[in-house]
Amino acid sequence: MSAVDRQPAGARGPAPDLEIDEQGFALVDGRLVPLSEARVSVAAHGLNYGTGCFEGIRAYWQEDHQELYLLKLIEHYQRFARSASLLHISLGATPEELADATRRLLETSQIRQDVYVRPLAVKASRSIKVGLRPLEGLVAVYTTSLGDYMPLSGLALQVSSWRRIPDNAIPSRAKTTGSYVNAALALDQAKQDGYDDAILLDQAGHVAEASAANLFMVRRGTLVTPPVTSDILEGITRQLVLELAAEMGIPCLEREVDRTELYMADELFLTGTGVQVASVASVDGRAVKDGTVGPITARLQDRFFLAARGLDPDHRAWLTPVYGTSAKG
């Protein structure tokens, strides 16, 4: 069996709803400090008004290589820089410098397990006035062990009564901290109603995305996903999956998706740094086909994890090794 035929597991680690262990370290404005000492004031502008932005980056441990691989590290920091610029927060470093600092943080911590990296930039000035300038920013990076954000198959989703915030209200292309209240409300409603996650519609009534993940649909052998003009986050994992699909000869379309198409889809799955590639079994109590993982979803899921764990030599460029060892094909 070749490397690309193997079936790797998802992320290994604690559930996302467990409290973060503060035994590790964090970078705060370029300084290495114990995570337990990384604090901002309760009067910080970002805490009071949600004026901040963040990223989520996965790193996968590959035992055979004795290596920790950061997935799409530079791309995440490039998006982080765009989000920060929108909020007039100076990061004080280039994406490349932040990426190198993150690699050194993980190396110093001697982490040898799957890990989640959280870059965060917030307005730290103690100010009561709403606004963005000339408030000072604080930039931090911390890590935490994290398993699968949600199950990789069998997900039951609900179309939410909450609508996705339009880009003209809060920019959907930026991962701003305050905008995630929208996701939290939709997810809370779905959980209360017995579902795993929510699907939000945009203001025009078309499908946007899940609470914190992009959505893909398969109809008649074609992979379909809402366009970036449907108030979605321009997901890095979303783009990665589109690239994989193109390489595998799977037809792809980015177009508006109607709610009822979800009920008639042959396959549905979510993508994102947190959820990775996760198959959807039902929407609003209606099974997606027979409720099992579809063939296209399964192929993309397998290829994703092979690439993320350094087992696909065709996609080594997506990875940044922390310890610098030479991965074997």
Write the CATH number of the domain with boundaries 155-308: 3.20.10.10
pLDDT at residue 4, rounded to an integer = 42
Q: How confident is the model at residue 3 (pLDDT cuts 50, 70, 90)?
A: very low
Phi, psi of 48, deg, nearest 5: -80, -35
What's the whole-number mean pLDDT along residues 172-192? Answer: 96
pLDDT per position as a tens digit, 119-135:
999 999 999 999 999 99
Taking only the tens place, the pLDDT of each residue in 77-123 is 999 999 999 999 999 999 999 999 999 999 999 999 999 999 999 99
Q: Look at the block and give the residue holding tokens 């209200």.
A: 169
d(CA 35, CA 115): 15
Q: Binning pLDDT at 50, 70 and 90, where does residue 324 land? A: confident
How confident is the model at residue 294, as a pLDDT? 97
Q: Under the phi-then-psi rule, with left for phi > 0, alpha for psi from -120 to 50, and beta for the rest, what region is 324?
A: left
Query: What pLDDT sits at residue 15?
Result: 86
pLDDT of 21 > 90? The answer is no
| Active-site pick, 72, 123, 175, 191 | 175
Beta bridge partners of 280: 155
Parts of the chain belonging to CATH 3.20.10.10: 155-308
More confident residue, 34 or 190: 190
Q: Tell which wins on pLDDT, 8 or 242.
A: 242
Please report the pLDDT score of residue 247 as a whole number: 97
Residue 325, pLDDT above cutoff 70 = no
User: Could you tell me where in the chain the CATH 3.30.470.10 domains are found?
Assistant: 17-145
Q: What is the pLDDT of residue 24?
A: 81
Rounded Cα gap, residues 103 and 71, in angstroms: 12
Cβ partners under 8 Å of residue 220, min gap 6 = 266
Contact between 69 and 114 under an 8 Å Cβ cutoff? The reply is no
In this model, does residue 2 exceed pLDDT 70? no
Q: How far apart are CA 91 and CA 288, in angstroms?
A: 44
- 289 in catalytic set: no
pLDDT > 70: percent of the chain: 96
Residues 6+ apart with CB under 8 A from 264: 219
**Tens-digit pLDDT profile for residues 263-276:** 999 999 999 999 99
Q: From residue 306, how far is each of 197, 244, 266, 303, 310 by CA, in Å?
A: 26, 12, 24, 5, 6
Residues in Cβ contact with 227 at an 8 Å cutoff, skipping those fewer than 6 apart: 254, 255, 256
From the options 3.30.470.10, 3.30.1540.10, 3.40.50.10800, 3.30.565.10, give the CATH code of 17-145. 3.30.470.10
Question: 136-169: per-residue pLDDT in tens?
Answer: 999 999 999 999 999 999 999 999 999 999 999 9
3-state per-residue secondary structure call for the chain: CCHHHCCCCCCCCCCCCCCCCCCCEEEECCEEEEHHHCCCCCCEHHHHHCCEEECCEEEEEEHHHCEEEEECHHHHHHHHHHHHHHCCCCCCCCHHHHHHHHHHHHHHHCCCCCEEEEEEEEECCECCCCCCCCCCEEEEEEEEECCCCCCCCCEEEEEEEEECCCCCCCCCCCCECCCHHHHHHHHHHHHHCCCCEEEEECCCCCEEEECCCEEEEEECCEEEECCCCCCCCCCHHHHHHHHHHHHCCCCEEECCCCHHHHHHCCEEEEEECCCEEEEEEEECCEECCCCCCCHHHHHHHHHHHHHHCCCCHHHHHHEEECCCCCCCC
> Would you state the pLDDT for residue 9?
67
- Mention every residue, 6+ apart, whose C-beta is less than 8 A from residue 157: 190, 195, 196, 197, 198, 199, 210, 268, 280, 282, 283, 284
CA 22 to chain centre: 22
Whether the CB-CB separation of 59 and 68 falls below 8 Å is answered with yes
Over the chain, what is the mean pLDDT? 93
Assess whether pLDDT exceeds 50 at residue 328: no
pLDDT per residue over 207-251, tens digit each?
999 999 999 999 999 999 999 999 999 999 999 999 999 999 999
